Amino acid sequence: MKRAVAAFSFIGFSLAFAATAWAHRIDEYLQAARLAIAPDRVTLQMDLTPGVDVAPLIFALISTNHDGSISEREARAYATQFLKEVVLDLDGHSQRLSLVRAQFPSFQEMNEGVGTIRIEAFAVCASAPGNHVLSFQNNHRSDISVYLVNALVPASRNIEISGQHRDSLQRGIQLQFTVTH
């Protein structure tokens, strides 16, 4: 049977009036975190997307010499500062996050609200067999931010996440997990 094709042509005007809204993230800094638990480490992946109105503020924090671009040194400095403002604890012990990579968009992309900063870091922390609690808290620019935080399903079959508890804004998460042999 021949497939019918929908025509896109206008057939006339509706006389109806209606209100429509254009909702668009503009004045928020979206910070999305993903945590991956492995037997010997925890990896943090961050996607940071400033909205149009806050992009100049964030860009100014990064491009400290204000030359309109982000140098490698400036990128590393911002990513390092970001990592100082997140807290990662395993069983109550603070874990040091080491930067793996940081990828930055152009000012133009950020200025249009479509630029995402990607930061990846890891903490070396071997988890012995048994029950554990991993806590993560993001304290970076809480004045302008909205948050997402999620745990990735562990790649190792020896690790099972049994519980996850977030605060109401998703700035932080507490993960209960079990390691087996």
Closest CB 15 distance from other proteins, rounded Å: 9
Near other proteins by CB under 8 A: residue from 77, 99, 114, 133:
114
Task: By CB under 8 A, name the one of 43, 170, 174, 178 that touches other proteins.
Answer: 170
User: Is 154 in a helix, a strand, or coil?
Assistant: coil
DSSP state of 26: -
Token pair listed for 80: 């390092």
Q: What is the DSSP letter of 85?
A: T
Stretch that binds other proteins, among 11-19, 80-88, 89-97, 127-135 (CB under 8 A): 11-19
One residue of 131, 152, 156, 180 binding other proteins per CB under 8 A: 152
Given the rule CB under 8 A, which of 85-93, 94-102, 122-130, 159-167 is the region that contacts other proteins? 159-167
Beta-sheet strand order (sheet of 159-166):
93-94, 86-90, 130-138, 172-179, 159-166
Is 157 one of the binding residues for other proteins (CB under 8 A)? no
Residue 164, number of CB atoms within 10 A of its CB: 15
